[in-house]
Amino acid sequence: MIDDIIKMFDVVSGQEHGSIVKVLLIGFAFGAIILYSRLDKFEKMAGFMIFEDTLVPRMAMTTVALSSVGFYFLVESGYATYNIKPTMLGGLIIGGILFGIGLVILGKCPSAFLVSVSEGRLDALVGVIGGMFGGYVFTIGYPYIQQILGPDLGKIRVPDFFTEHSLLIVFTLSGILLTIAFLLPTIEYEDPADINEKNK
């Protein structure tokens, strides 16, 4: 086990994707933002899907809208390259369905549940353990699972369908997302557990 952990750090330092300290800091910031915006709370993620809270969609749309414009300029000026995941239809649809069911029941996604654990939520810890088993079964079953992942439509982006005007497309989509994020009403599930602590 200890050898494996040392190997994990070796593999990371051997990649051209930042030093270990940098990767840890990126994670630290990611976790801190998730906790500070309360995305790790069940009431936010599950609440979004049963229409009792709008924090998650508004924040996610803002992130995607701002990032897409930023990414476009980073790539254009040579400071970044796109890293697109392949469009494997079978895997995306079956995986998306299972993920959606898991998401609404657990009420957190696979990075927020670790943040939830760091806040002392034991149900999230059980979710993490369940996730470990999910990963285990996937690795074991991969030779069989592989057959349902396709067809592979390749690494495609929306602007690929429009050979020109990709900046215009980026700006339009980002504008639409930002507008929706601002127009969505603020519905907030007030967690009594939070309110009690405020009054302490």
Are 187 and 51 contacting, i.e. CB atoms less than 8 angstroms apart?
Answer: yes
Angle, vertex CA 198, rays to CA 196 and CA 199, nearest 5: 70
Q: Does 139 bind another protein (CB under 8 A)?
A: yes
Residue numbers 13-42 binding another protein by CB under 8 A: 15-18, 20, 22-42
The one-letter amino acid at 111: S
Residue numbers 61-120 binding another protein by CB under 8 A: 61-68, 70-71, 74, 79-89, 91-107, 109-111, 113-120
Q: Does 168 bind another protein (CB under 8 A)?
A: no
Residue labelled with tokens 């050979």: 163
Q: Does 128 bind another protein (CB under 8 A)?
A: yes
CB of 90 to another protein, least distance (A): 8
Q: Does 150 bind another protein (CB under 8 A)?
A: no
Q: Does 180 bind another protein (CB under 8 A)?
A: no
Interface size with another protein, residues (CB under 8 A): 136
- Among 48, 30, 17, 14, smallest CA distance to 187 is for 48
Q: Does 2 bind another protein (CB under 8 A)?
A: no
Q: Which lies closer to another protein via its Cβ, residue 79 or residue 163? A: 79
Q: Does 162 bind another protein (CB under 8 A)?
A: no
Are 62 and 181 contacting, i.e. CB atoms less than 8 angstroms apart?
Answer: yes
Q: Does 171 bind another protein (CB under 8 A)?
A: no
Long-range contacts of 168-174 (CB under 8 A, 24+ apart): 170/68, 170/69, 170/72, 171/69, 173/65, 173/68, 174/64, 174/65, 174/66, 174/68, 174/69
Q: Exactly one of 6, 156, 167, 187 binds another protein (CB under 8 A); which one?
A: 156
- Among 129, 132, 112, smallest CA distance to 30 is for 112
